[in-house]
């Protein structure tokens, strides 16, 4: 039985070590009968790197409704065709985008957030453009954007992650929280206990001002990561920590393979959960110098150069507390 098989493998994983993985914001349109270049590049990179786990964030329209799959209006076949390609890959785990306005429920109600979770969890099978083949389009987790970083909102995120857990049921899933920066010391233990990973830094490589990088953005360097600035205060939580870097281009320091490899070795050496560097804004995967295929190849090199991080309690395990089942079991063709 699949669940039992999964649990057995999860138990094995909990005693092993894990390497730095990819948290890929794939916020672009998938294309129609033929994938658009950004999606195709992502699919190709995932296929070319079966040992790397790719958490792929899907975001049709600031969430699932409108142009993706909708409980009211049904699924758009461009999306079903693209998602079916990802779901078929055992090392691609799709996460549905949900924004939460930093826990300000006057701006974004609990009911609206839960409705988005319901929508994502309801995607199951749907016709695609592939000769109208009905394919598996299930997503396997939620990416909570704009996570409140303070103790004032931890109860909200406990409730939302608990709700996601009950909604996804026995299906393998992950939750990732994105405060986009540090969480307060007195909120850290609680927030980390609710999820698979937290993005503790989302910044830029270049200091040039852009939409992603407002004036005053401090350019990324793994060497500057420290407890309270990109790393958790509790070093034991590094294995659940992600960093995202945008606008990897330009000079000083030059954005090229050598600098990216050095950065990825640094991030892997810190024992972090996952990362991604975009070479332009947050949604582009085909731009030089590090399109997604090059990024993944360099991340693989970095992983083999450093020791894997220790498995964190809960990672890969199912059925304990708020633990998420984030890793696919071995030998299975795709997700269900
Ligand atoms: C969390 O859920 C509990 C139990 O349903 C409820 O009493 C509480 O008000 C919720 N808190 C927030 C902040 O949503
Ligand atoms: C950068 O690294 C990638 C992946 O290893 C490789 O394919 C590409 O040729 C490299 N580019 C340069 C300019 O060395």
Q: What is the pLDDT of residues 48-91, one digit of tens each?
A: 999 899 999 999 999 998 777 877 778 899 999 999 999 999 99
C-beta of residue 262 within 8 angstroms of C-beta of residue 305: no
Decide if 295 is inside a domain. Answer: yes
Instruction: Work out the average pLDDT over 162-173.
Output: 90
Nearest CA to ligand 1 atom 13: 156
Ligand 1 centroid, distance to 278 Cα (angstroms):
37
Nearest CA to ligand 1 atom 5: 159
297 lines ligand 2 (CB under 6 A): yes
261 lines ligand 2 (CB under 6 A): no
Residue 288 host element (H or E): none
Mean pLDDT computed over every residue of the chain: 87
* pLDDT in the model for residue 133: 87
Decide if 93 is inside a domain. Answer: yes
Which of 67, 65, 174, 80 shows the shortest CA–CA distance to 132?
80
The predicted-structure confidence for 274-306, as pLDDT tens digits, reads as follows 999 999 887 789 999 999 999 999 999 999 998
152 lines ligand 1 (CB under 6 A): no
229 lines ligand 2 (CB under 6 A): no
Decide if 255 is inside a domain. Answer: yes
Decide if 301 is inside a domain. Answer: yes
* pLDDT in the model for residue 73: 78
For the cut 90, the answer to whether the pLDDT of residue 38 exceeds it is: yes
For the cut 70, the answer to whether the pLDDT of residue 313 exceeds it is: no
Higher pLDDT, 251 or 240: 240
Report d(CA 50, CA 44) in Å as an integer: 11
Which of 206, 209, 216 shows the shortest CA–CA distance to 246?
206
For the cut 50, the answer to whether the pLDDT of residue 150 exceeds it is: yes
For the cut 80, the answer to whether the pLDDT of residue 184 exceeds it is: yes
* pLDDT in the model for residue 325: 60
User: In this structure, what CATH number is given to the domain that contains residue 66?
Assistant: 3.20.20
Nearest atom of ligand 2 to the alpha carbon of 293? 4
Which of 253, 251, 255 shows the shortest CA–CA distance to 279?
255
* pLDDT in the model for residue 310: 61
- φ/ψ of 150, rounded to 5, equals -110, 165
Nearest CA to ligand 2 atom 8: 294
257 lines ligand 2 (CB under 6 A): yes
Of 33-42, 61-70, 214-223, 224-233, give the lowest mean pLDDT range: 61-70
Decide if 86 is inside a domain. Answer: yes
151 lines ligand 2 (CB under 6 A): no
Report d(CA 117, CA 161) in Å as an integer: 10
Report d(CA 148, CA 151) in Å as an integer: 8
For residue 93, give Cα distances in angstroms to 152, 154, 334: 31, 26, 9
Instruction: Work out the average pLDDT over 170-185.
Output: 93
* pLDDT in the model for residue 13: 43
pLDDT class of 218 with cuts at 50, 70, 90: confident
Q: Can you list the pairs that 161-165 forms with residues at least 24 positions away whose Cβ atoms lie under 8 Å?
A: 161/194, 161/195, 161/322, 162/194, 162/322, 163/114, 163/117, 164/117, 164/121, 165/322, 165/324
Nearest CA to ligand 2 atom 5: 297
Decide if 335 is inside a domain. Answer: no
Ligand 1 centroid, distance to 265 Cα (angstroms):
41
State the residue range of the domain holding 116.
3-330
C-beta of residue 105 within 8 angstroms of C-beta of residue 61: no
Nearest atom of ligand 1 to the alpha carbon of 158? 1
pLDDT class of 335 with cuts at 50, 70, 90: confident
Decide if 336 is inside a domain. Answer: no
Decide if 14 is inside a domain. Answer: yes
Of 2-16, 35-49, 219-233, give the lowest mean pLDDT range: 2-16
* pLDDT in the model for residue 148: 98
Look at the chain and report how many structural domains it folds into. Answer: 1
The model scores a pTM over 0.85: yes
Report d(CA 52, CA 134) in Å as an integer: 28
The vertex-96 CA angle with 92 and 98, nearest 5°, equals 150
The predicted-structure confidence for 89-128, as pLDDT tens digits, reads as follows 999 999 999 999 999 999 999 999 999 999 999 999 999 9
159 lines ligand 1 (CB under 6 A): yes
156 lines ligand 1 (CB under 6 A): yes
% of the chain with per-residue pLDDT over 70: 87
The vertex-37 CA angle with 63 and 138, nearest 5°, equals 40
Ligand 2 centroid, distance to 20 Cα (angstroms):
20
160 lines ligand 1 (CB under 6 A): no
Report d(CA 237, CA 200) in Å as an integer: 11
């Amino acid at each position: 039985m699949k669940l039992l098989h999964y649990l057995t493998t999860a138990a094995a994983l909990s005693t092993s070590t894990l390497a730095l993985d990819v948290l890929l914001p794939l916020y672009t349109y998938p294309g129609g009968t033929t994938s658009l270049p950004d999606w195709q590049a992502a699919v190709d990179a995932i296929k070319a790197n079966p040992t790397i786990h790719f958490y792929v964030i899907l975001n049709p329209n600031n969430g699932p409704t409108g142009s993706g799959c909708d409980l009211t209006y049904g699924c758009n076949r461009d999306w079903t065709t693209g998602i079916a390609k990802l779901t078929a890959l055992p090392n691609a785990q799709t996460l549905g985008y949900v924004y939460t306005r930093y826990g300000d429920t006057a701006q974004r109600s609990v009911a609206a957030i839960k409705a988005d979770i319901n929508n994502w969890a309801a995607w199951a099978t749907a016709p695609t453009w592939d000769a109208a083949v009905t394919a598996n389009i299930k997503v396997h987790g939620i990416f909570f954007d704009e996570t409140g970083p303070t103790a004032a909102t931890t109860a909200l995120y406990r409730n939302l992650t608990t709700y996601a857990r009950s909604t996804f049921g026995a299906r393998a899933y992950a939750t990732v929280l994105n405060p986009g920066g540090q969480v307060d010391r007195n909120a850290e233990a609680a927030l980390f206990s609710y999820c698979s990973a937290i993005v503790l830094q989302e910044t830029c490589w270049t200091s040039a001002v852009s939409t992603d990088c407002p004036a005053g953005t401090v350019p990324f360097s793994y060497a500057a990561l420290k407890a309270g600035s990109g790393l958790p205060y509790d070093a034991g939580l590094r294995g659940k920590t992600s960093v995202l870097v945008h606008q990897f281009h330009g000079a000083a320091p030059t954005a090229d393979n050598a600098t990216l490899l050095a950065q990825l070795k640094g991030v892997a050496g810190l024992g972090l959960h996952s990362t991604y560097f975009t070479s332009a804004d947050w949604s582009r995967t085909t731009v030089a110098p590090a399109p997604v295929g090059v990024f993944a190849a360099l991340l693989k090199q970095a992983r083999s150069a450093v020791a894997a991080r220790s498995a964190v309690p809960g990672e890969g395990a199912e059925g304990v507390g708020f633990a998420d089942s984030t890793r696919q079991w071995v030998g299975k063709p795709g997700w269900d």
